[in-house]
Each structure stands twice: as C-alpha cells, then as structure tokens.
Amino acid sequence: MSIESILLHKKKLFLQTWLELLLSGYPPETVRLLKKETNQFANPVGHAFSSAMDQVCAEFLQDNDPQKMAPLLDRILRIRAIQEFSPSQSLAFIFSLKRVVRELLKDETAGGQVGGSELAEFESKVDELGLLAFDVYMRCREDLFEVRIKEIKNRTNRLLHRAQIIAEIPERKAEEE
C-alpha cells in the first residue's frame, strides 16, 4: 500500500492532526473558537481553515494537481498572510506535515509496509507543496501591497488630475464648443 492510500484510510485522524498544527500558532482561547465553530458567517476563519484543509488533504493524497491545489492553499494562506505571523510561521504547517506523517505511520514503518524510499519520496512531495505554498503566499502579500498602492491612488487621483500633475493623453477630441 502506498503512503497516500494508508493516509487516505486514516484521513480523519490525518486531517485532524494537521489542522491542529495549523491552529497551534493561535492563543488557546482562539483555537477553541476556530476549531469548534463551523459556521461560515459567524466564524469565517475557522470555517475557511477546516473546509479548505479538508480539500487540501484530499487533493494532496489523490491527484495532487498544482492547478487545483493553488486556489485551495490560497483560501488558507490569504488569511495567514494578513495575520500576526512571520512568513515562516505562516507556512510552517506544511513542513510539519512530515512529522505528522512519520508519527501516523509509526506502525507501518516498523512493520515494514512503508520503506525508507517511499517515505523519502513522500517527503519530497511535501517539499513541492511547500514551494507551491510559498508562491501562493507571496501572491497574497503582493496583492496586499497592490491594494495599498491602489487605495492611495484612488484617494487623491481626482486631485492630481485636477491639479494637472498627471497628464493624460485624451482618448478622443471633445467636440463641444
């Protein structure tokens, strides 16, 4: 059996442990809220995390298609990117996946069902996920800076125009008068 299928078998436990890792950076008072509350509107962060992680797990253990994975990671990382975490803290939950898996597969590795090469292969898959996550995370941060710039522009755009600080090539000649 491949590692993926073993994990699929234990998906509930796998997901739960992984989610716990994701949430562990928050104060305990908040972890409770994020875990318990599945209401999409009363608790957007908790809901986004649990539902997106579920899909990330499924995708990762099955097709693992980067095209499909990126938007799933985006749902989690878009939130992490604006919270009080450093970039490394934001992405740590992906790399700690290795530890989770070693822990979950303790029996199987001891029993010889899972070999060292399989484990190494799986771990490089985790690294790939990490790199993808890095791209997604950076995209979010770039978006944030873009939003900031756009807002500053919006705020005074009209004034600059009016003060004729900004010159613009007219698209068509005005015919009036």
List residues binding other proteins (CB under 8 A).
20-21, 24-34, 37-45, 47-48, 78-79, 82-84, 86-89, 92, 96, 143-144, 146-148, 150-152, 154-159, 161-162, 172, 174-176
How near is the Cβ of 23 to other proteins at its closest, in Å? 9
How near is the Cβ of 174 to other proteins at its closest, in Å? 8
121/15 Cα distance (integer angstroms): 20
Our CB check for other proteins shows the closer of 125 and 139 to be: 139
How near is the Cβ of 101 to other proteins at its closest, in Å? 15
How near is the Cβ of 165 to other proteins at its closest, in Å? 13
69/135 Cα distance (integer angstroms): 12
Our CB check for other proteins shows the closer of 10 and 148 to be: 148
How near is the Cβ of 68 to other proteins at its closest, in Å? 16
Our CB check for other proteins shows the closer of 102 and 108 to be: 102
Our CB check for other proteins shows the closer of 11 and 153 to be: 153
Task: Tell me which residue of 145, 135, 144 sits closest to 70, measured CA to CA.
Answer: 135
Our CB check for other proteins shows the closer of 40 and 124 to be: 40
Work out the burial of residue 60: count CB atoms within 10 Å of its CB; fewer than 13 is exposed, 13-18 middle, 19 or more buried: buried
